[in-house]
Amino acid sequence: MTPSLANEQLIQIAEQFGTPVYVYHAEKIKQQYEKLKNGFAVLDTRIFYACKALTNINILRYIKGIGCNIDCSSINEVKMALHAGFEPNNILYTSNGIAFSEIEEAVAAGVHINIDSLSNLEKFGKKYGHSYPVGVRLRPNILAGGNIKISTGHDKSKFGIPVEQIAELEKIVQQHNIFIRALHIHTGSEIKDADVFVKGIEVLFDLIPHFPELEVIDLGGGFKVPYRPEEKETDIALLGQKLKDAFDAHPLADHKKLQVWFEPGKFLVSECGYLVTQVNVLKENGKVDIAGVNTGLNHLIRPMMYDAYHHISNLSNPGGKEKEYMITGYICETDTFATDRLLNEIKEGDYLVFHNAGAYGFEMSSNYNSRYKPAEVLVKDGTAHLIRKREEFDDLLKTQLKVL
């Protein structure tokens, strides 16, 4: 059974802690982690949670508690992971476009590192030579998923070292005797098709002869979760089997010698999250009924940034007659969450919930229009815990210096 939070519990939380509020359901994270662990059991696998999706320290601690490792995309995320109690050996830092000084800090912290440019690799080689095993992020030139805005492995993407530059890469590695432990790719997000991952691993298998000390193939994250009711998530067990078959079929690859690492973000924390809001205003604009809610692109930017769909339901009137609505935010920009959306009839003050809001929701929030960031609540074993206070006016001034 899929763990989910009941309408009544979400309303109770909204009444207790106010709105807008992000609510996370711990047991759902655990269920997703177990699907990964079981589905990939056919291979020697390590799962690193891509914490850029949601970094609340309590979520990190919960994820550590269920036995998962952590993937970081900045040195501050590395510091958050250490603060949450992860051991350096369970932390991966997959950098992109960063100053070399961040890599130096990551080495000092003793975490695993993936480097994504020839220039940083060269600096790394000069400074550390063979002494610190490292991974390289490659760009495999694969267009993954349907949405170019969240596809990162294609031939115009900024991410990774293009595979066609393998000769230059090898030259740097040999010149400085760099210990290349891992080859990494991350081709994008919301990839349902297992064959995209198979294609990716085959690109890496072909490179095995170039890296005699290779121990790890890192396939990144990007597993799909169902945002629309009719969508399906990536079938992890099928993917595990297909990857094992790819190992068996390839003359250079041995799954007993190579560990496979994954960096899922959305798959672990997207569905556990709910953004509960309240309707501020109802408007009739010609033929369109608009419900304006007390949140906006400052709290959930995915619909505006990626044209992402979030399912919305009316917690206050679940059995009511269905009507078409446009759902908009309160920000002084066009922050439309949904158009032509069928929802149970809405009154001002009703609680609406955005589903599947755990990943890249709060994490991408801002103070635009001098609005506060929302509160966060974690439900674990049926109990709701406040894990981040709603901001207050002083928070808006906290880092400002009054010089005039």
Contacts with ligand PLP, residue ranges (CB under 6 A): 50, 53, 71, 94, 186, 189, 220-223, 263-267, 359
Dihedral, 70, 75, 76, 78 alpha carbons, nearest 10? 30
Dihedral, 55, 58, 62, 65 alpha carbons, nearest 10? 110
Cβ within 8 Å of residue 88, ≥6 positions away = 82, 109, 110, 111
Provide, rounded to whole angstroms, the least separation between the CB of residue 210 and ligand PLP: 21
CB burial of residue 44 (10 Å; 0-12, 13-18, 19+): middle
224 closest CA partner among 260, 184, 265 = 265
Alpha carbon distances (Å) from 192 to 38, 267, 308: 18, 11, 16
Q: Identify the three-state secondary structure at position 141.
A: coil
- Between 28 and 186, CB nearer to ligand PLP: 186
- Between 267 and 354, CB nearer to ligand PLP: 267
Provide, rounded to whole angstroms, the least separation between the CB of residue 189 and ligand PLP: 3
Catalytic residue among 51, 68, 272, 332: 332
| H or E element, residue 370 | none
- Between 161 and 375, CB nearer to ligand PLP: 161
Structure tokens at 280: 């501020």
Provide, rounded to whole angstroms, the least separation between the CB of residue 359 and ligand PLP: 6
Provide, rounded to whole angstroms, the least separation between the CB of residue 286 and ligand PLP: 38
Cβ within 8 Å of residue 47, ≥6 positions away = 33, 36, 37, 40, 68, 69, 261, 262, 264
Cβ within 8 Å of residue 242, ≥6 positions away = 194, 195, 197, 198
Provide, rounded to whole angstroms, the least separation between the CB of residue 98 and ligand PLP: 13
Q: Which residue is nearest to ligand PLP (CB)?
A: 265
Q: Is 72 a catalytic residue?
A: no
- Between 64 and 176, CB nearer to ligand PLP: 64
Q: What are phi and psi of 100, to 5 degrees?
A: -60, -30
Amino acid identity of residue 79, one-letter, is K
- Between 24 and 223, CB nearer to ligand PLP: 223
Amino acid identity of residue 125, one-letter, is G
- Between 19 and 114, CB nearer to ligand PLP: 114
Catalytic residue ranges = 332
